[in-house]
């Protein structure tokens, strides 16, 4: 299996980006589909869920109706559905370009406020946009919010991930670095290796690969021992779950709310010759303590009525000495 460390980073659902050099016009629909099938069969975590002896001739049989690479998209999507991982998906070239260059205005705002109880509240939603400039921008927005709230001398923090449906995890992690702490925050676990993601001195990356560097080594909170309540729910998924896992093992943090969506898996993006992407589930998340996931993340404090989640988090923070 190709060592994942050799893959070029792609900031889509989560991690990597594989480039194929074929010119899109040089591949026939049959060649295009064969490339896609090979990627899925050799790399998917749930590859063995597909009966390939049956699926291959079935897929190739649909080529009778395909005159372009785009005509094979439904065939590829059908194969991905058969993996039953609920996280693999296909992205057209147009959709990929739109997401990559998504603007701040097209994302839900990253908001912060100071509660009457002197608790700092941060809401971190889904983040799209995968250029270096966007990564630094979003990271800086989050750290600026933290710095502004920290200047008010809070007694604790609430990080709300209940509407974080995924996207680009790296600026989320870089931005929240001052609350997550330095060092290994989690792992991407593949069949043959574990790759750690690390926050250190205002940088975020995996193993020795730095993806985002904040100016002046990033912001440092005045008191790194304050309690941090992390709010989660069934809309917390994918990269949102990666951020959730990054708080697990932090002595100051506790999870409140309801179980997450259950997409705590590692997606690897494979670029096809026409610019389309096969985003394939190839591994699972592991927290800094070594516990592996791949499904729902349970809160430390279950709150059945979501409207009471913030209240429960506030109660816990106020109870801390």
> How does pLDDT run across 43-72, given as a tens digit for each residue?
999 999 999 999 999 999 999 989 999 999
DSSP state of 14: S
| Confidence check: pLDDT of 221 > 70 | yes
Provide the pLDDT for residue 15. Answer: 40
DSSP state of 218: -
Structural domains in the chain, CATH included, are: 4-99 (3.30.750), 103-265+283-319 (3.90.226.10)
CA distance 310 to 321: 19
The band of 106, judged by pLDDT with boundaries at 50, 70 and 90, is low
- Bridge partners for 156 per DSSP: 119
CA distance 196 to 189: 9
- Asked if 34 and 63 touch (Cβ cutoff 8 Å), the reply is no
Given the structure tokens 């372009």, which residue do they identify?
A: 68
The band of 80, judged by pLDDT with boundaries at 50, 70 and 90, is very high
- For 267, the token pair is 């997606």
- Whether this prediction's pTM lies above 0.85 is answered by yes
What is the tens place of the pLDDT at every residue in 165-216? 999 999 999 999 999 999 999 999 999 999 999 999 999 999 889 999 999 9
Provide the pLDDT for residue 162. Answer: 98
CA distance 204 to 225: 21
CA distance 187 to 195: 5
CA distance 48 to 45: 8
Helices (H), 205-268: 239-247
Specify the 3-state DSSP secondary structure of 141. helix
160-192 core/surface letters (b: 16 or more CB in 10 A; e: else): bbbebbbbbbbbbbbbbbbbbbbeebbbbbbee
| Confidence check: pLDDT of 76 > 90 | yes
| Confidence check: pLDDT of 34 > 60 | yes
What is the tens place of the pLDDT at every residue in 223-232? 999 999 999 9
Given the structure tokens 């979003």, which residue do they identify?
A: 138
- For the chain, helix (H) and strand (E) counts, in that order, are 8, 15
The band of 16, judged by pLDDT with boundaries at 50, 70 and 90, is very low
| Confidence check: pLDDT of 261 > 50 | yes
Which has the closest alpha carbon to 194: 289, 74, 64?
Answer: 289
- Asked if 245 and 297 touch (Cβ cutoff 8 Å), the reply is yes
Give the max Cα distance, the chain. 71
DSSP 34-47: HHHHHHHHHH-TTG
Element of type H or E holding 175: helix 169-180
- For the chain, give the mean pLDDT: 91
- Asked if 219 and 112 touch (Cβ cutoff 8 Å), the reply is no
The band of 104, judged by pLDDT with boundaries at 50, 70 and 90, is low
Given the structure tokens 């040089």, which residue do they identify?
A: 26
71-87 core/surface letters (b: 16 or more CB in 10 A; e: else): ebbebbeebbebbebeb
| Confidence check: pLDDT of 157 > 60 | yes
Q: At a CB cut-off of 8 Å and minimum separation 6, what does 92 contact?
A: 70, 73, 276
């Amino acid at each position: 299996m190709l060592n994942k460390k050799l893959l070029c980073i792609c900031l889509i659902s989560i991690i990597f980006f594989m480039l194929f050099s074929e010119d899109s016009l040089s591949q026939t629909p049959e060649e295009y589909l064969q490339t896609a099938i090979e990627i899925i069969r050799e790399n998917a975590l749930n590859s063995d869920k597909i009966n390939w002896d049956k699926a291959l001739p079935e897929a190739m049989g649909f080529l009778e109706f395909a005159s372009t690479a785009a005509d094979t998209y439904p065939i590829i999507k059908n194969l991905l559905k058969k993996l039953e991982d609920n996280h693999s998906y296909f992205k057209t070239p147009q959709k990929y370009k739109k997401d990559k260059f998504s603007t701040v205005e097209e994302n839900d705002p990253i908001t912060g406020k100071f509660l009457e109880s002197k608790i700092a509240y941060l809401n971190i939603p889904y983040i799209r946009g995968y250029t270096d400039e966007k990564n630094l921008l979003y990271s800086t927005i989050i750290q600026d919010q933290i710095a502004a709230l920290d200047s008010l001398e809070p007694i604790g923090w609430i990080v709300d991930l209940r509407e974080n449906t995924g996207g680009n995890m790296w600026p989320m992690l870089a931005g929240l670095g001052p609350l997550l702490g330095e060092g290994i925050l989690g792992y991407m676990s593949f069949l043959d290796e574990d790759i750690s993601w690390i926050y250190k001195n205002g940088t975020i990356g995996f193993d020795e690969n730095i993806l985002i560097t904040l100016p002046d080594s990033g912001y440092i909170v005045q008191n790194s021992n304050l309690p941090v309540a992390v709010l989660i729910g069934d809309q917390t998924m994918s990269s949102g779950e990666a951020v959730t896992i990054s708080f697990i093992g932090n002595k100051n943090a506790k999870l409140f709310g309801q179980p997450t969506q259950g997409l705590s898996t590692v997606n690897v993006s494979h670029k096809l010759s026409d610019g389309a992407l096969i985003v394939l589930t190839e591994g699972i998340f592991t927290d800094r303590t070594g516990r592996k996931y791949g499904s729902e993340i349970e809160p430390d404090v279950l709150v059945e009525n979501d409207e009471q989640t913030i209240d429960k988090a506030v109660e816990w923070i106020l109870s801390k000495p």
